[in-house]
Chain A
Amino acid sequence: MGAVRLSSLLREEHIFLDLPAADREGVLAQVSGYLEKSGVIRNAQEVVELLLERERLGATVVGEQAAIPHCKVPGLKSVAAAFARTAKAIRFGNGESAGVRLFFFVLSPRDQPAAHLQVLASIARLLRNRRALDAFLSAETPLQLRQALVAVEGG
Chain B
Amino acid sequence: MGSTLAARLARDRHDVVIVESDRERLQGLADDLDVQVVAGNGTAVEVLRQAGIEECDVLFACTSSDEANMVVALMGSALFKVPRVVARLRDRSHEASFAAIAQRLGGEHVCINPDQAAVEKILSLLPVPGAVDVVTFLDGRLIIAGFPIPAGSDFEGLLLSHLRLLFPSPPVLAVAIRRGEESFVPHGEDEFRAGDLAYFAIDPHELGNVLKLLGVRRGSEERVMIAGASRIGLELAQRLEARHEDVTLFEDDLAVAEAAAAQLKRTVVVRGQATDREVLEEEGVERASAFVACTDDSSLNVMACLLARRLGAARAFALVDNPALTRMVGELGIDAVVSPRLLTVGLAVQFVRRGRVRAAAALMEDLIELVEVEVESASRLVGPTLKELGLPRGTLVAALLRGKNLIVPAGGDRILVGDRALLIATTARAAELDAFVGGQ
Contacts and interface: CB of A to CB of B under 8 A. Distances in A.
Contacts of B159: 124, 128
A131 to B, nearest CB: 14
A88 to B, nearest CB: 24
A125 B158 contact: yes
B209 A2 contact: no
Contact of A121 (B154, B168, B169, B191): B154
Contacts of B162: 62, 121, 124-125
Contacts of A118: 154, 212-213
Contacts of A3: 154, 215
Nearest to B157: A125
Contacts, number: 59
B213 A121 contact: yes
A2 B154 CA distance: 4
Contact of A117 (B153, B156, B212, B215): B212
Nearest to A56: B168
Contact of B157 (A1, A62, A117, A120): A1
Interface in B167-207: 167-169, 191
Interface centre among B155, B168, B191 (most CB of A within 10 A): B168
A5 to B, nearest CB: 12
A57 B169 contact: yes
B380 interface: no
A39 interface: no
Interface residues of A, number: 20
Interface string A95-128: 0000000000000000001100110111011001
A1 B165 contact: no
B152 interface: yes
Nearest to B410: A58
B212 A121 contact: no
B200 to A, nearest CB: 14
B212 A1 contact: no
A62 B188 CA distance: 12
* Residue of A3, A62, A117 ringed by the most chain B CB atoms within 10 A: A117
B154 A117 contact: yes
B107 interface: no
Contact of B166 (A1, A4, A120): A120
A60 interface: yes
Contacts of A1: 152-154, 156-157
B8 interface: no
Contacts of B156: 1-2
B106 interface: no
Given A57-B169, A114-B213, A121 B155 contact: yes
Contacts of B167: 117
Contact of A58 (B155, B164, B209): B164
Interface in A56-92: 57-58, 60, 62, 68
A54 interface: yes
A153 to B, nearest CB: 12
Given A58-B168, A114-B208, A125-B157, 12 more contacts: A1-B152, A1-B156, A1-B157, A2-B154, A4-B154, A54-B168, A68-B165, A114-B213, A117-B154, A118-B154, A118-B212, A124-B159
14 contacts: A1-B153, A1-B157, A2-B153, A2-B157, A3-B154, A58-B169, A62-B162, A62-B165, A114-B212, A117-B166, A117-B167, A121-B166, A124-B158, A125-B157
Q: Which 4 A-B pairs have the closest CB atoms?
A: A114-B212, A57-B168, A124-B162, A121-B154
